[in-house]
Structure 1
Amino acid sequence: MQGQTKITNAFQLGLLGGLGVLTAVVIGGAIQTLADIITYVAAAIFIALGLEPVVAKLESANLKRPVAILIVVLGLLGGLTALVWAILPPLASEGAKFIEKVPSVISGFGDLPLIVKLDNQLGGSISSAIASTSAFLSDSANWPKLVGGVVQVGMNIFNGFFAGLVILILSLYFMSSLNRFRDFLFGLVPASKREKFADIADQVATSVGRYVIGQFGIAALNATLSYIFMLIMGIPFAVVLAFIVLLLGLIPLVGNVTSSAIITLVALSVSPTTAIVAAAYCLIYMQIESYIISPKIMNKAVAVPGAVVVVAALSGGALLGVLGALVAIPVAASGILIIRQILMPHQDTK
């Protein structure tokens, strides 16, 4: 009888274990299927929290929340429209010229003394690779292949527009219903702990909002200074490159390095000396941003140790790509805040 009980218990344990594995597989498949939607929702929440400090500021000026949201949204759309209207014509013209000049920029890279020396040591393999790349890019028929063909290019443009529209609509919804969702969430917490939970949640939301505004401000400053520098140095496609700097500047760590490499490569089309000066400028600016500008702005938003910033940004980028890198730092800041205000006081009471 005892042996039969053990067999029954083992069978139940195996059945529960199998059901657990099956449930995990189903949940994993559902997350993979809904990956795009989850990304849209996360981006919309991120934007809504980023604009919340502005909405709250307008509410403090005795404006009703719907009116404050309308003003913020109209201001955002107006700013984006003005930006597109101002940069689209030069962006289109300079973008076409930039694409045409990419082969010559790559060829100029092979004329650098260091590259020539390495090429001689490697038996001409670098110059051969550069020549092949330049020949491939010189043929306009090959350009669609880089992005999957003409149809795929059109689909990517449509998908990007659709994703932006969905994120905008979701952002409006989250902004309008943020207080209701906040009250609902607080209602799920026991009354004895509700005040503490509300305080921490408000601090997390505030830190995320300040981070979004701060990161955009830093990226805009970088783009403006880079544009002025490129005009002074006579580097072509300054508008296109400044726009790239603005977009990549929103991505922690990797963004500045990538935009600096692009500017330096384009500067090669002017002269090797210009490229060296551009590389020096980018390096100096990155140091100033890392040790002066960013700490002054970001420490007011998210107080996160430098090592945690690096690990969080790399981990977020590896898990969720660009969006992961963007949200990783405020998520890390939220985790540190929760540890400091909940876990550490709890440990002190033991």
Structure 2
Amino acid sequence: MRWWTAKDDADEAPSATVSTPGYIPWGNGARINPFTFGLLGALGVLVALLIGSIVGQLGTVFVYVGVALFLSLGLDPIVSRIERKLPRPAAVAVVVGGVILAFAGILLAIVPVLVKQITNLIDTAPDMVDDITHSDWYGWLTDQFGTNFDSAVSGVLDFLQDPTNLGEIGGGIVAVGAGIAGGVTGVIIVLILTLYFMASMRAMKRLAVRFVPAYHRPRFRELLEDVSGAVGRYVIGQVSLALCNAVLSLIFLSIIGAPLPALLALIAFVGSLIPLVGTLSASIIITAVCLVNSPTTALIAGIYYLVYMQIEAYVLSPRIMSKAVAVPGSLVVIAAVGGGALGGILGALVAIPVAASVIIIVQKVVFPAQDLKKLPPGERAEAGVDGNPPAVEV
């Protein structure tokens, strides 16, 4: 906005009044009432707040779309490989059928075992509490901390045995059940979106290219293929690492007699999807759960995961992720924390491929543009620097 001056009035509109009391100058001699000016500003602020509120409420939807998009990018190389022998619709159908069968197999393998183990845990809970109170380590803790520790345990047991507290416990169980139902719904939505994205991946890429000026389209198309290919390889590699961790965890935890090994293996799988911090977090949770059985079991589990993390970092990860873009450890931590703060576990899962995409864009666009700035002005113009489009035919 440019304020109207007396000189402008004299040059452009000699008959206009230089200053009108109660009005704000508004370009080309027009003037606006201060009340109208303030009203427009307030409406602009309200619209901005409304847009921010809508974006905040749709945050979960954006996370679902992001997860489905990255899953489709991860499965696209498999679809392209099958497409060499089958048409693309058939290749997409084969991949989707394989994903559904794998998901159903995981549910059939985990859910019955999980229900059985939870039932056994509830049935044996009184005996387990009695064994804990008569164990050597419980006696050692009682000797170390005296009556304070004994009083705390007695208070917990009294709370659990009080019928008036059953309502609060039931409310917590209902909340957990609602959370599980929401998670299952989210998984179904992500699977459906992944199906649509895989079927229309090429059309989506062509549409994205259309938004770019024609003289930049060849370079943008190449960059888009690089980003999608790297993200796809990254997703496949990370899922392979997570699957390896889950299978080994299920076998090892079953051997040492850990409680709920199927559930703990699922925690290991989800945790391994988040690089660097996910495996460590899942290992700590699993080791803490093993304390329910005995300190010896927890110690064995902790030693196992310490060894496994070293093998994963120096043997498995370099071999599996050798063709994917390398993300520095510091950026992994920042992306995982930021994504988790914005969208929970799903946000953390999406944040790592986003960081990988940003790194590719920086390497492919920003760095070459900076390197070209050392050329003479004439060569810089031919290379398309300083706003001059390169001589490329589409």
Give the TM-score normalised by the residue count of structure 1: 0.84
What's the counterpart of residue 80 of structure 2?
A: 56
Q: Per-residue displacement from partner, 1:141-189 (whole Å, max 9, x unpaired)?
A: 9688468456545544443333332222221111111111111111121
In structure 2, C-alpha distance between the alignment counterparts of 1:218 and 1:106, rounded to whole Å: 40
Q: Show the 5 A alignment for 1:266-277.
A: 266-277=289-300
Bigger share in helix: 1
2:63 is aligned, of 32, 39, 46, to 39
- Mapped to 1, the partners of 2:262 and 2:159 lie a distance apart of 26
Structure 1 gap segments, 5+ residues each = none
Of the three residues 290, 300, 306, the one matched with 2:313 is 290
**Cα distance in 2, alignment partners of residues 106 and 259 from structure 1:** 29
Partners of 1:231 and 1:90 lie apart in 2 by 12
2:228 to 189, 205, 217: 205
2 CA distance for matches of 1:147 and 1:28? Answer: 36
Deviation at 1:291, TM superposition (A): 3.5
* Residue of structure 2 equivalent to 1:8: 25
Instruction: Find the residue that maps to 2:274 and give its secondary structure.
Output: coil
Q: Pick one of 106, 110, 115 that aligns with 1:87.
A: 110
Assess, with a 3 A threshold, how the Cα gap between structure 1 residues 75 and 153 changes in structure 2: closer, same or farther. same
Quick one: structure 1 residues 188 and 101, their matched pair in 2 at CA, closer, same or farther if it must change by over 3 Å?
A: farther
Identity level (%): 44
The change in CA–CA distance for 1:325 and 1:139 in structure 2 (over 3 A counts) is farther
Q: Distance in 2 between matches of 1:332 and 1:106?
A: 50
Distance 1:42 1:117, change over 3 A: same
Deviation at 1:219, TM superposition (A): 1.2
Aligned counterpart for 2:256 among listed residues 233, 257, 263: 233
Q: Determine the C-alpha separation between the residues in 2 that align with 1:141 and 1:47.
A: 47
Alpha-carbon distance in 1 for matches of 2:282, 2:371: 46
1:234-254, CA deviations, whole angstroms, 9 ceiling, x for partnerless residues? 334322322232233223344
Instruction: Give the one of 199, 223, 226 matched to 2:246.
Output: 223
Q: Distance in 1 between matches of 2:221 and 2:209?
A: 7
Distance 1:265 1:37, change over 3 A: closer
Deviation sequence 1:54-73 (CA, Å, 0-9, x none): 111111x2311100000001
Residue 47 (structure 1) shift: 1.8
Native 8 Å contact 2:60 2:343 kept in 1: no
Contact 2:231–2:353, Cα closer than 8 Å, also in 1: yes
Whole-Å separation in 1 of the counterparts to 2:293 and 2:178:
36
Q: Conserved in 1, the CA contact under 8 Å of 2:246 and 2:265?
A: yes
The size of the alignment, in residue pairs, is 347
* 1:13/1:214 CA distance change after superposition, 3 Å: farther
Shift of 1:332: 0.8
Q: Which runs of 5+ in 2 are unaligned?
A: 1-16, 27-31, 374-394
Partner of residue 22 from structure 1, selected from 25, 46, 58: 46
RMSD: 3.5
Q: CA deviation at 1:281?
A: 1.4
1:340 pairs with 2:360:
no
Secondary structure, aligned partner of 1:303: coil
* 1:116 paired residue number: 141
